[in-house]
């Protein structure tokens, strides 16, 4: 669930003259605080003129890896932003690891970015101690900016049942 300060990122973007599509606004509202997707008008973020949900040929592709175990007591979810168009000058990935318990619960968030069009990845991790199988989901949100000033957003999901040992 987005915090008030994160949801305010849409208002700050619009106040800064950035055009935000309705779908991009929905994605921005759930992006974690501190990411350029949540607050594109922040001083640390590259300047953009508009933000849209990406078409297949625009921006970078969000890839959510299957949740997995690195040990019997740790679950991780990898996320990537890759396959960028040649005119990308900023690339950010937000990876969220979630667990289903009647509703999706956020367990961890990892954010990584780079200047340029190269691939970028981030891995969210959480300790686990349950023996029964539980449904985990990796959510990857890509935010990329072109040299023309347009930012594109994309989201991908991957779910998997995992059990751990204590």
Q: Which of 138, 104, 142 is nearest to 24 (CA)?
A: 142
Is residue 138 within 8 A of residue 109, CB to CB? The reply is: no
Cα 21 to Cα 51, 60, 164, distances in angstroms: 6, 17, 41
Q: Over its length of 166 residues, how does the chain's per-residue pLDDT go in tens digits? A: 344 444 788 899 999 999 998 888 988 988 888 899 999 999 999 999 999 886 655 678 999 999 999 888 899 999 999 988 888 999 999 999 999 989 999 999 999 999 987 899 999 999 988 888 889 999 999 999 999 999 999 999 999 999 887 5
Which domains, from first to last, does the chain contain? 4-162 (2.60.40.10)
Report helix, strand or coil for 80.
Answer: strand
The pTM (predicted TM-score) of the whole model is 0.85
Copy the structure tokens of residue 138: 């990796």
Copy the structure tokens of residue 105: 């619960």
Q: How many residues does the chain have?
A: 166
Cα separation, 30 vs 116, whole angstroms: 25
């Amino acid at each position: 669930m987005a915090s008030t300060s994160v949801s305010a990122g849409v208002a700050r973007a619009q106040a800064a003259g950035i055009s935000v599509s309705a779908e991009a606004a929905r994605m921005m509202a759930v992006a974690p605080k501190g990411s350029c997707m949540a607050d594109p008008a922040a001083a640390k973020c590259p300047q953009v003129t508009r933000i849209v949900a990406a078409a297949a040929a625009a921006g970078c592709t969000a890839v959510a890896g299957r949740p997995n175990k690195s040990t019997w007591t740790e679950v991780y979810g990898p996320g990537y932003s890759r396959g960028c168009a040649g005119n990308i000058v900023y690339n950010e990935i937000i990876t969220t690891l979630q667990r289903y318990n009647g509703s999706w619960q956020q367990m961890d968030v990892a954010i990584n970015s780079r200047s340029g069009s190269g691939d970028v990845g981030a891995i969210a991790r959480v300790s686990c101690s349950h023996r029964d199988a539980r449904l985990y989901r990796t959510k990857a949100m890509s935010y990329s900016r072109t040299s023309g000033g347009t930012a594109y957003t994309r989201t991908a999901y991957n779910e998997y049942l995992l059990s751990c040992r204590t």
